[in-house]
Amino acid sequence: MADKAMVLFSGGVDSTTCLALALERYGKGNVIPLSILYGQKHEKELEAAKQILDFYQIKGMELDLTTIFANSNCSLLAHSNEKIPQTTYSEQLKQTNGAPVSTYVPFRNGLFLASAASLAIGEGCSSIYYGAHHDDAAGNAYPDCSEGFYTSMNQAIYEGSGKALKVEAPFIGWNKAHIVKEGLRLGVPYHLTWSCYEGGEKPCGVCGTCIDRNNAFLANGISTLSS
């Protein structure tokens, strides 16, 4: 039986590139994208995810974990009154004194990986692909993107699955510009991806993730992508 991989897939730049890499390595029939609803302020991400799956002509799984974050005050969540900061992550970290930024959803990636693990074992996968990268972890902005987190979570999933399942984070030591470079090689349909934390008609251009996205494309000589 061919190896199968599950991919944590949000419809953003990182996870779409991760999906493209998994498709290259495992082949179309052996990749299961998993998209997770967690109460984010808008559903643009998931709409983007659907368009990207159509582009690749594959089907994905969806999981709704909204109830788990019902009491969190994270600014990314629909029920929160906190505003999403309009500045870079390094500026935000000065405000938080090195604590996670206000768009950190409590242990979100840990929960996503654990959920993916439970599903992946049921689907007979041997790997979970996870698009975390170095920029997001910098300065503790998103501690659940750090290499320390990834290494121990991978080990926990390997041990807790009876050594049946591993996590692969191919971009863990990379910056976002490096991911985009790889994605351009893979022909990723970046025009379909969505990054902005706000749910407007067009990307706001001023939230942390818009700034990061634009810089990553600029570093690859591209300045006109639409979101």
Per CB under 8 A, residues contacting a second copy are 63-64, 67-69, 71-73, 99-100, 104-111, 113-115, 117-119, 121-123, 140, 143-144, 146, 148-149, 152-153, 155-157, 159-163, 165
Cα separations in angstroms, 10 against 6, 117, 158, 182, 216: 13, 17, 23, 18, 18
Closer to a second copy by Cβ: residue 130 or 190: 130
The nearest distance, CB 124 to a second copy, in angstroms, is 10
Q: How far is the CB of 99 from a second copy (least distance, A)?
A: 6
Q: Which tokens in the block code for residue 3?
A: 């190896």
Residues 127 and 119: their CA atoms lie apart, in Å, by 11
Helices (H), 27-165: 44-56, 89-96, 108-122, 134-137, 147-160
Task: CB nearer to a second copy: give 15 or 227.
Answer: 15
* Nearer residue to a second copy within complex by CB, 67 or 224: 67
| Size (the chain), residues | 227
Judged by CB, which is closer to a second copy: 54, or 123?
123
- How far apart are CB 165 and a second copy at their closest, in Å? 8
Q: Which is nearer to a second copy, 159 or 201 (CB)?
A: 159
Minimum CB distance to a second copy, residue 87 (Å): 20
> Cβ of residue 67: shortest distance to a second copy, in angstroms?
7
Q: How far is the CB of 167 from a second copy (least distance, A)?
A: 10
Q: How far is CA 33 from the centre of its chain?
A: 12
Q: CA 147 to CA 133: how far, in whole Å?
A: 8
Question: Smallest Cα–Cα separation from 176: which of 142, 200, 211, 148?
Answer: 211
Contact 166, 159 (CB under 8 A): no
Closer residue to a second copy, CB minimum distance, 173 or 200: 173
**Exposure b/e, 205-219, CB count within 10 A at least 16 = b:** eebbbbbbbbbbbee
